[in-house]
Structure 1
Amino acid sequence: MTFVASAVALHARAVSLAEIIPHSFLALLARVSIAGVFWQSGQTKVDGWMVTDSAVYLFENEYRLPLIDPWLAAHLAAAAEHFFPLLLVVGFLSRLSALALLAMTAVIQIFVYPGAWPTHGTWAVCLLVIVIRGPGVVSLDHVLGRWWHGSAVPPAMAGNRPHMR
């Protein structure tokens, strides 16, 4: 076998091994990983339940988002960076949460740190996997979707299933 044929065979084997990784595993990894990024960012904006003065200062002087008051922007960002990651981790309203964080990523890329496109591109890929392919079977979205469509009923909800056809 020639070197090229060996390389092609090795590549084909590697691709076939990679294809056995289930989407649900990749989606869970994407959800938890990107949730961690945004959660940690949200944590830098708060002290307990309160948005810090330093977070507001950053929105006033460094981030300078157009069309929104810096105080409001700091509070909305802190809330979003805590709320949507929690939803992603449990897999509830995953596509909506990923879409919200994707929009936030676009705002950060365009208005705040345009030079950080490699980082933001990585975030966008994780979020797009969730938006396009869904959160996978290890998610509340999957469990509730199966229950709603009648293919699986959680025992605690037996008899309370909506009748949708």
Structure 2
Amino acid sequence: MSSINKVESMWIKRKATTAPTSPQIKIPPRQLSPEPHFEQGLPNYIPPERPLGLPKSENGNEMIDLLLKASTLLPAVKCEGVQLRVRQLEREIGEKNVALSGQMTLLKIAKEIDKFNCQEAWKLYQNAFEKHETTMFWTRGIRLLILELRDNQKLRIGQ
């Protein structure tokens, strides 16, 4: 037998007889209980205060603040009208009359308005709220705000 074969055979024998140096952790197979955990309920569970999907600081307040800030760019009479509608929206959100999906869309619209991206805000508004203008009067304030800012933006670009 050559010296290489002797070394290999010794290594194989040693490997087979050597005990592991560290204890092995045995993990039992995952067992599913007949009733899922969420059906059992958690005794100390507290539901979240903010709508899911909204960042912690944006519980509607930032959206309202952005809309009110943008309304100050309008002429005085239009500013007051828009602010009345935004305050109405704030009450509706407080009474939980605005769906979470609507709040998310409004937040997107408010952020686009804050970036002076009125074209994108107008597209979002049309997709979400144009058919609800007669039932939710605060949508008219958002519409007026977007259109006025868009027109003012066009005037500034033309100068």
**Normalised TM-score (structure 2):** 0.29
Larger Rg: 2
Greater share of helix? 1
TM-score normalised by length of structure 1: 0.28
